[in-house]
Homo-oligomer: A and B are copies of this chain.
């Protein structure tokens, strides 16, 4: 997956500084409001450097959440290995909402990434879709859920949950969507 890239010492240092500051700003919930240039100054590097490491705001977001998304995917695999297929899917969807609730910025990020699904970006989002695909396939195989709705449908529902991140009653409504999806999926 990663091409062998011997990154120069100072380059790596700056990259880390950028990522560190990005995480900080994410936690403060200001990531999407901040001027991208100012962000470079905050992290103590020049604008050029920022753009060289992360060509777009989305690329930076993706890098920041790469770990989180990986964790989600591995959680999906873990659930799939230790639970009945039908329950695994439901459990994963619920834990997904938990995650999004805890890391508020993540919801907005995922929605953005999925929206900008173009090109080679949004690698994380594709990984996630793959994980969900596996869960759904297994559940169908086991006869736990109907087979006439695709993964895309489930992804679309998740997308909606992310996209609506600023509705006042987000958590309750998100839980509701998952409930409908899970119940609707039953044969």
Contacts and interface: CB of A to CB of B under 8 A. Distances in A.
Nearest to A150: B176
Contacts of A179: 148-149, 153, 184
Q: How many copies of the shown chain assemble into the complex?
A: 2
Interface string A117-157: 10000000000000000000000000000001110110111
A163 interface: yes
A185 interface: yes
A93 B148 CA distance: 19
Interface string A149-181: 110110111111101101101001110110111
A56 B117 CA distance: 26
B185 A169 contact: no
A150 B173 contact: yes
Contacts of A111: 163
A115 interface: yes
Nearest to A183: B184
A29 B68 CA distance: 36
A182 interface: yes
A172 to B, nearest CB: 7
Contacts of A180: 149, 153, 157, 180-181, 184-185
A111 B160 CA distance: 10
Contacts of A176: 149-150, 152-153, 156
A22 interface: no
Interface pairs A-B: 6 shortest CB-CB? A160-B160, A153-B176, A184-B184, A180-B184, A163-B163, A152-B173
